Amino acid sequence: MGFRWNVMETIKQAQELADKILIITQSLILAGEDDESDVNAYVRMVEEREPLITKLIELKQSINEEAAASEEFAAVVSTIDSISKLDEEHHDFIENVREAVQGAIKKVKQGRKIHEGYTSLPPEITSRRFDTKH
């Protein structure tokens, strides 16, 4: 009976951790108004969840096949599925931000190249002698 209680206690701890991770994940609100603050909020959320996820992974390793087939463990898996679904939405949002930033950087680089092409170089950068070898 002690072994079963120990496994059930482990599943209970796993459920508590999964619930905490879900609450942290749900609390992330990506407004889309300020890309920098959205990215910072996302990074903070990931950093806050990381130790909890590590503990959850450690707990999962101590759960045997019989316990993994229980209804209690199915509830943990369901919570983790909810977290994964939210993570997908957050990832898609952050990926769109990344693509927008990449596009902006590309435009800046193109603008810089165009500017350099139409701006004459200062005298100290240009060559001071003519190429006379032909």
pLDDT at position 49 over 80: yes
Tokens at residue 22, please?
A: 């879900």
How many C-beta atoms surround the C-beta of residue 90 within 10 A? 18
Token pair 């390793």 is at which residue? 61
How many C-beta atoms surround the C-beta of residue 66 within 10 A? 10
How many C-beta atoms surround the C-beta of residue 106 within 10 A? 10
What's the pLDDT at 25?
92
Q: Show me where the domains of the chain are located.
A: 2-118
- Phi, psi for 15 (deg, rounded to 5): -65, -40
Q: What does DSSP assign to residue 128? A: S
pLDDT band at 1 (very low <50, low <70, confident <90, very high): very low
Q: Note the pTM of the prediction, 2 decimals.
A: 0.66
